[in-house]
Amino acid sequence: MSPDRDRSWVGAMAETYDRYLGPTVFHSFAVDLVSRAAGTPAHRVLEVAAGSGVVTRELVGALPDATLVATDLNPAMVRTAAERVPRAHWAVVDGQRLPFCDRGFDLLVCQFGVMFLPDKPAAFAQARRVLAPGGRLLFTTWDALDTHGFERAVTVGLRRAFPDDPPRFLEQIPHGYHDLAQVVADVRGGGFRAVSAETVTVTGHAASAADLAFGYCTGTPLRAGIVGRGDLASATPGSRRL
C-alpha cells in the first residue's frame, strides 16, 4: 500500500467511516479500553490515531476533569471528529513524530492505530518520551483476520469480486500486526518495561450486511484498492450515495 494513498481521505469518507463503522465495529472496544483508563489518575491525556472520535467521546465522559488532546494523521478525520467531540483539543499529528514536550501527559491512548505506524518501536519510544513518570500507555491492535467475523466476511466478498487480485488492505494493515510476541517486543523496544496484554472479544451489531460492506468499501482505504481495480459504483452496491 502507498503511504500517501492510505492517508488520502476524499469526499465523505470520514463521515461514512464514523456512521457505518464507528457504532458497529469500534464502539464496544472503545468502551472496554476507556474503562481501563477510568481508574488512572490522568489529568493530561493524549489520544493518537483518534479517527472520527469514537474513543474520544468515551474519554470525555470517563475523565471529565482531564485535559484531552486528540490527534490523527488525516485532516478529514480531524475535521469530522472535532465537530462530533468539540471538548477535546484536536490536531493533525503523525503518531510517529509526536510534537509534544517530554513528560507532558499522564495517559496515552490509541485504539487500532499502531498497525499503521511504519517504525513501531520508534513510535512506542515517542509515546514513552511524552509520558510523565508513572504514565500509562493503553492501546489495542486487531488479532488475526480469521478472528474478526465482519472483516473476514468482507475479505471473502472481495476475493469473489476480484478473484485475480483482491484488495488486501484488511489483512495486510489492520490485521497485519497480530503476533503478540512481536507487539510486546516492540513495546519494550520503545522503552516500556511493565508490559501486559489481554485478548478482548466483543460482539458488534450492524443494521444490515449491506451497510457494513458499504462502510468498509467506501469509508476506509479499501476504497482506493477497489477504485484501482475497477468501478466503485458497480463493485459496491449503494456507493453512488457518496
CA distances 108 to 12, 16, 89, 102, Å, are: 29, 26, 14, 13
pLDDT tens by residue, the chain, 242 residues: 344 444 456 668 999 999 999 999 999 999 999 999 887 789 999 999 999 999 999 999 999 999 999 999 999 999 999 999 999 999 999 999 999 999 999 999 999 999 999 999 999 999 999 999 999 999 999 999 999 999 999 999 999 989 999 999 999 999 999 999 999 999 999 999 999 999 999 998 888 998 999 999 999 999 999 988 877 776 665 544 44
**What is the model's pTM?**
0.92
Q: Fold for domain 3-143+177-204? A: Rossmann fold (3.40.50)
Cα–Cα distances (Å) from 130 to 48, 62, 75, 96, 117, in that order, read 12, 22, 22, 12, 17
**To which H or E segment does residue 28 belong?**
helix 27-37
Are the C-beta atoms of 22 and 52 separated by less than 8 Å?
yes
Backbone angle region of 126, left / alpha / beta, with phi > 0 → left and psi within -120 to 50 → alpha: alpha
- C-alpha angle 143/145/149, rounded to 5°? 100
Helix (H, G, I), strand (E, B) or coil at 134: strand
Tally Cβ neighbours within 10 Å of residue 159.
14
Q: Report the candidate in 185, 189, 208 with the shortest Cα–Cα distance to residue 197.
A: 185
CA nearest to 157, candidates 238, 222, 203: 222
Nearest residue to 235 via CA among 141, 137, 165, 134: 165
Q: Cell 471538548 appears where?
A: 87
Pair 67, 87: CB distance under 8 Å: no
CA distance 46 to 131: 9
